[in-house]
Amino acid sequence: MKELVVNLNTGLHGDLAVPGDKSISHRSVILSSISEGTSHIHHFLASDDCISTINAFREMGVNIDLDGDELTVEGVGLHGLKAPQTKLDMGNSGTTTRLLSGLLAAQKFTTNLIGDDSLSKRPMKRVSEPLSMMGASIETTDGHLPMTINPGHIKAVKYELPMASAQVKSAIILAALSADEDSVIIEPQVTRDHTETMLNQFGNNVIERAGNEITVHHQPKLTAQDFNVPGDISSAAFFLVAATLVPKSHIVLKNVGINPTRTGILDVLIQMGANIKLLNQTNGSEPTADIEVTYTPELKPIDVTEESIPLMIDELPLVALLASRADGHSTITGAEELRFKETDRIKTVVEELRKIGIHIEELPDGFSIDGSNDWQVVDSSLDSHGDHRIGMTLAVAALLLDVDVQLKGEDAISISYPQFFDHLQHLSD
């Protein structure tokens, strides 16, 4: 159990380079492995989740060398993976599981996917059902892991996603690469597009988009790449919120990815009146910027609705924390997907934030929050519930308390951000 000690009389200050983007790091391993040639990936996120992806491809015959945040992958081509000699352990990584399900559905060998207790409770029918429509042969355990993927002949598909999910979309895309014809995927709302962007970097016009409709060209030739992973805006978000809320703070987060399918947290901060500036912007396939944040003493309340949820699904616990300091009543709705993350994040956020005196109510698909600066701590023992983003959100909340608190389950934070507490300390010194 980690002590979260209050010692921030001068606020947060300084520059910080947050770790590489988790979504892009996962995909860099996947696409490098099925490309031809040797890829060099810089600023890779060596978190527990991303290591799960690396280990899976090593088990399937891909030579991968990780040195700090530098990754070298010797690709085997689209059809060069080998049958693993053991079950593939997904750890806690839903991204690894769902994306690999699509890729493995097109292989000529059987794979067995397992995961930890938390991952084994997360729904997998959302990927197994559309993949089965494409000809995949997938056996789940009552819709969950363990999951067995048998050889199948993948057919082209025109599929309309019933929900906005980048992971499901990406699974279908990766399966469609091996189909007999081009496939079409229709999204109800645009979700993070790293898979599409990176495929077009590794291949020539693999993906075409027209509005919410995505065309996947089959049997592409993918060629190894040398590229930098931008800083993860989902990791940067914790410090964006902390510096906004903690008096006297002024920080600059360097080289953060600002892909427009991921910047919902920036939109919320700006709508609420936070003092945010984007500096040194680049406009590559994955745009980046330095983000300057200064303490904002008064924030406006906000109503977040379903249409904007896909742009900030991972940051919604932080949005709830922001709203708890706003001047008025805020709501977050259309976010039922939070119930199917590492924890039921709706239930867990409400349970934990109430411990520190925040006025928050659970809705079926989100939260109702009455903002206040007068929090009265009723329980100083906080719990991540094994959820990395809940743990970091509570650590940020602790900065605003006038008593010391304890955080149980802080080890879960290494799933996405192993250096989190070191970086928090850096900005506090």
Same fold, 2-20+230-428 and 22-218: yes
Q: Is the dihedral of CA 357, 358, 359, 364 positive or negative?
A: negative
Please report, as a single letter, which amino acid is at residue 388: H
Q: pLDDT tens digits for 288-321?
A: 999 999 999 999 999 999 999 999 999 999 999 9
Domain boundaries, the chain: 2-20+230-428, 22-218
**Binding positions:** 22-23, 27, 94, 122, 165, 167, 314, 341, 345, 389
Per-residue pLDDT, 8: 64
Q: pLDDT tens digits for 318-377?
A: 999 999 999 999 999 999 999 999 999 999 999 999 999 999 999 999 999 999 999 999
**What is the pTM for the complete model shown?**
0.93
- Going from the C-alpha of 240 to that of each of 253, 274, 294, 400, the distances in angstroms are 8, 9, 9, 14
Per-residue pLDDT, 402: 86
Q: pLDDT tens digits for 39-94?
A: 999 999 999 999 999 999 999 999 999 999 999 999 999 999 999 999 999 999 99
Please report, as a single letter, which amino acid is at residue 349: V
Q: pLDDT tens digits for 3-26?
A: 876 556 789 999 999 999 999 999
* Total residues found in the chain within this entry: 429
* Average pLDDT rounded to a whole number, residues 122-140: 96
**Binding positions for phosphoenolpyruvate:** 22, 94, 122, 167, 345, 389
The reply to whether omega before 146 is within 30° of 0 (cis) is yes
Per-residue pLDDT, 213: 97
Domain 22-218 indexed as CATH 3.40.50.1100: no
Contact 175, 102 (CB under 8 A): yes
List residues with catalytic annotation: 314
Q: Provide CATH code, domain 2-20+230-428.
A: 3.65.10.10
Q: pLDDT tens digits for 218-262?
A: 999 999 999 899 999 999 999 999 999 999 999 999 999 999 999
